[in-house]
Every structure is written in C-alpha cells, then in structure tokens.
Structure 1
Amino acid sequence: MPDSTLVPAVPATCSPSRAARELGLRRAEFDLAVHLGRIRTAPDEGGGAGRVVERAEILRLLAQHGFPSTLRERVRVVGTAEGAALMGIPAGRFTRLARLGLLVPVRFYLNRYRAVVWLYLAEELEQFATGAGNTCLLKGRTPETLRGQLAAGVDLRARNWRGRHFGFLLRQAADPWARAAAAAAFLAPAEIEDVVRDPGERALLERLRPAPPAHGAPGSSFAHLAEHLMTAQDPDELGWLRSDLAQAMREARTASAAPRTPARSPQAAERALVRCAEGGPRLPARPGVTPGDRPARNRRAVAHTVVTAPPAPTAPTAPRQAPDPRPEVPSAARGLRAWLFRASARPAQARPGYRARNRPSCTTETSSRPRTS
C-alpha cells in the first residue's frame, strides 16, 4: 500500500499563467475570458497583488460539453475585414455600424503605423447579424438620422470600449476604494482633483488606480496613445464618470477612512528647514551633531536663512612645534618624479633610445636602418 504522505498535495489555487496552460488557452484568450466573466478569479490571499484561479473553477470548465472548442469560440475576436465577412456585409458598412456604437469592440491594439485596430467578439457579431430588427441596418440604405451622425464625425468605438472595460474593473474591485479607483482610471488628473479635494484620498486613488492595457514600453508613443484612449473625452461621458466617482467616494468614506500620512514633529520640521537653508543632503540628523557642524554648500542660502544654529565649541589646539633646522632629504619617489620631469623637458633627439616609430607620420622604424645609395 503506497504511503499517502509521499503524494504531493494539489494546491487549491493557481496563477493565471498556470490556469491558461491547463485550460489549453493562450494568455490573451484567457485574459479576455476573465474580462468577459467566462472564467471566475479570486483575490490572492497569499499576499500578492494579483488574482488567482481556484481549482474548482478549472474543474468546472474542464467538465463543460465540447471543451475546449466551445470556450475558445466564445472568446474568439475578429477585426473589421473578418467581421464584415462573418456578417455578410461590406467592410465600409461594418465600420459605419461600429462608429455609430451598434457594434461594441472588446479589445484593441496598435499596429506598426500607430493606427488603432479594434477587435470584436465573433459571437456578438453573429448574434447581431441574425437579429430580426437589424435587417434594415445590414441591407439597403442607412437611415437618415444615422447618416447625419456619421456626417457630423461621430465615432463611439473608444467610448464603448471604455464603458465595457469599466464594467470589467468594477467586477474585479474588492472594496469601495477599489471601485472609486476604477472610476478614476478613466478621468484626467484635473477632473479627479475637482471631485476629490483631499490630497490623501487622491494619493490613495492613484495607488489603487488600474493601469491601462499594456501597449509598448512605458513612456513610448504607443503607451501615450493607449493612455489617451483610456481617458474620457466627451462632456456627457465625463459627467457620468464624475458622478460615479463622487458616489463611490461617499461609499468608500462611509466604509473606511483613507490612510493618512503622519505629520512631522516641530523638531523634525526645524531640522528640515535648516538642511534646506544650508543646501546639505536631506538626511536625518545624527545624534550629537548640530546643523552648524556641517559645511555649507550654498553660501547664498546660508546668508538668507532665518534659523541660525549656535556655533560649535572649538577644541583646544595643541602648541605649535618649531620647524626642524635640518635640510629635508628627498625621498626616492620624489627624486624619481624630478628625474622624469627633467627628462621630458629635453629635446626628443637628445633622449637616449629615441625612436621615430611613435610619430603619427611613421608606421615602421626606419631611423636605425642604414641608407642605401
């Protein structure tokens, strides 16, 4: 009978990468399934900041009929050309329907030409194409009201994606402060400051604020473009996001107060003022050393400082000894340096062992060779 103690215990949770491998999905497909609610995740209670997948959730997905093809089909995304072919309409009509907000993108990426490529769920496109009330939109002339909106330049693709992503962030939020940070993720800093006046609360929202989808290296043009798509632009969209943020902040304040930064003591503030005036390093003062003991690096700042420190006590100096009348004997090192200096001052032709090989115009040693006539 085998010993049960040698059988390794199966962990109750696993990381998203491990869960994607066990489910036979690519990481992009797994993340999209989590966003859509197809795969349920839980907060990492082991101290990590991410999320984990429970073993029971993996077993539930493995037991589904037609796995894994059914799950892959539910998270399959297509672009404009493939989506238009799937719906049986021209690509131009597909783009117009997406700009009008009738087709909601689920993801986007930036190509090498810095153009935004929107991706749509194939399952939703098929449902839209088979809908009974959408026949007039797929065939025939576009209604006059919709054509007027297109002529005005309406494009709701980015806004619809933000609304969809906002719903995902709300589902992942674990507390009221995280829900408030989800609303603040789509607002500019000036908008957040107008709604949340407390600096401590704004610092907490900044720390909990979800990052935009990763596109390119941080600080690159791709990252700036992704952050621009993440920020609300329309006035009505800004209005309801500000309203959601204000409501979430009221609920968060009721649940728990934001952590405060401890105030500095008057002694610490005085030491910081003296350090700024002296131009010294901003380090805590060592015990037994006053600010006046450190050398001043900025004399102008010291001349205009208000806080002055008492002069440090001077130690008694030892009596000065009389100079030695004997002549100083140069050391060997000092004599060698003097000889090298005198040797370098002589002309090059007078130096022993001189060769012209080190001159830039010469490549071979020819000064010691006999001349032939």
Structure 2
Amino acid sequence: MKHVYLDNAATTPMKPEVVAAMTDQMQNDFGNASSTHFFGRTAHAALDKARQTIANALAVKPDWVIFTAGATESNNTAITQTAHARASLGKHIITTAIEHLSVLEPLRALEKEGYTVTYLPVDENGEINMADFDATLDDDTILVSVMYGNNEVGSQMPIKAIADRLRDHQAYFHVDATQAFGLLPIHPEELGIDMLSASAHKLNGPKGVGLMYRAENVKIQPFMRGGEQETKRRAGTENVAGIVGFATAVSLLDDDAKAQLQQRYASFSREICSKLEAAGVTYHVNGNLDRPRLQHVFNLYLPGASTYAMQTNLDLAGFAISGGSACTAGSLEPSHVLTAMYGEKSPRLEESIRISYGSMTTMEDVDAFADALIRIVQRLIARSK
C-alpha cells in the first residue's frame, strides 16, 4: 500500500539536496565552529556561509541572524527575555488567541510573574480586528507577539499594519513566521519586525535547527547561557551540519518558487472541494480560502464525521493528516484555534481535519486522498444514523 503524506504543517521530508549537503558536512567537516585550529575555522566558514544565505533570503545583515534549536526556542527567547529586559518600561504584552503553544505557554508563565497579557480574539476567518489591537495598545505595552500565518487554518495576520502602529511605540514586535518562512517572501527590516522565529523542518530542512532574527535595536539578554557562541547571543555548540541543511533548504526557495507553491497548493484545495461537492458530501472550510492565507494549510469541517475516526480511517487507508497542531496531537483537548474562531460549543471542534501540502505533494496524491476521504466520510455518516 502506498502511503501519502499530507501533514506538512507538522514537519516536512528533507529534500535530497539538503541530505547531500548535510552528509558532506558531517563526513568531511566535523570541527567545532568555536575552535581556532584548521578544523574549527573550516566549520566556522561553513557557518558563516549558511548565515549569509539565510540573511540574503530575509534581506537583513547576517549578524542579525541567530541560530537556535528551533522556533520553540526562538519564541521562548523573544518573549521571555523581552519581558524581563523591559519590565521597568511596562508589563503589558499583546498576542492573539490562536498563537502556537510555544508562544502561549511562555506568556502564561509570565502572567504568573505579574505581567498582563491581552489575547486578541479572531473572527471566523481566523483574523484579528485592528480596532481591537488599537484599543488595547497602551503606554505600558512592551511586546507584541503575533504569528505571520496560522498553522491550523492558514489565516494570515496584518503584520504590516501592526508594525506601522508600533513604528513610534516602545513595544518590540515579534513574529512567529514558522509556517510562512518557506512560502512567502518575508523581509523583517522592511516590514518593521524586531524579532522573527522560524524552523528548518517546515521547509524541507532538518529538525532541531531554527533561527531568530533580531534587529540591531533589540536589547535583550541571552536565553541560553554557558558559552560565547552566536556572538554571545546564544550559548551552545552550533549544529553546523543542521545549519548547512537549513541554508540549503532556504536556497532552493526563491520568491518565484514560493509564489508557484502557493498557487499549486491553492489548486489542491480547489480539487478536494470540487470532488466533495460532486460526491454530495457536506463540508465547510475552517477559515476562508478567498482571504490572504498560507495555501498549504487546508482545514475541513465534515459534519457527522468525528476527527478521531477520520484520522484513524485515513491512516489505515494510507493517508497521513492531522486534527490540528502536531504539538497538541496527544491531547484530548479541542483545538484552541477552532475554539477561538467558532466557540467552545461548535461541532467543528470534533469534526474537523487539517490537510497540509508540501513541495513533494502531487495532484495524484490529492485526488487519491479526496476519493478515500469521500468513501470514509460517507461510511462514518451512514453508521451514525
């Protein structure tokens, strides 16, 4: 049986070019990038080259790119260290109700320390209202942390509008761009973003490697201590092979390639909708396909078919999808994203699935998936009657 992977928002398979670059690095250059001898200098040169590649993609200076173990570390660093560094200026932070848990959990911890956090609500498109943002931004606000695009429904946030509001404000602006970095051209300096997080494994790179962009004006203490790596901003021996893999993955995605992927992914969603309609299957899209969005994430509400049953049956049929964020996959709690969008009593919370495409997804995969989904949903609904 062929297995089709449609859970790319959780992680992506590494591209052959990435594997080759990492293999070469591990086999031929094992030095510690902090060592001063030949082996260390060679490793450091590879590190510098990778940093420059990623800085070029972000259109920023290479010194402003800090390598981390992933977006979770980057998010925790940006949030916790900003709060502690700027406590004398205020203790108010603004975020949204649909952020990733690696943003929400540090904020909840800060609330226990006496900080006040405003969780902006979202509408049924998964979008915030800028009037709500304007109403809550005040002189005590020291940080705004908003994701670029949502990992469960694909909705995009008004990043430029927020940055414009903060241009003459004391608050730092942090953006979790984990899902968007490999799909949209993102230039933080041009946009007015002070800090940005991303992970390699979301764009066909390796797991365990991420970045934190930090503008020159941002003054915070390191989150990881114990060494002077990353120009004293993040302690710990750099994962040079992983970083080289990250840079290789980034180099394979110029702005034209990203635009083509967005168009291709949108066609996949249209194909699934068309097949569901032709088969007479009732469905609703969680979010809005006509709004600016990350097209690789497609979240479907299928009335009468439970999320768990759909996941299980699709897995047995050879299709890997998700009920929501991979970071909450082991939880019995409903999606906090769908809860924020539709309310805690909505049936969508227990009858929705997330399909997420990747660069290796084909239309043949999508057609086969849609056919299997139709059979499974029709069977589940028939059994429930």
TM-score, L = length of structure 1: 0.26
Higher RCO (CA < 8 A, seq sep 6+): 2
TM-score, L = length of structure 2: 0.25
Greater strand proportion: 2
Larger radius of gyration: 1
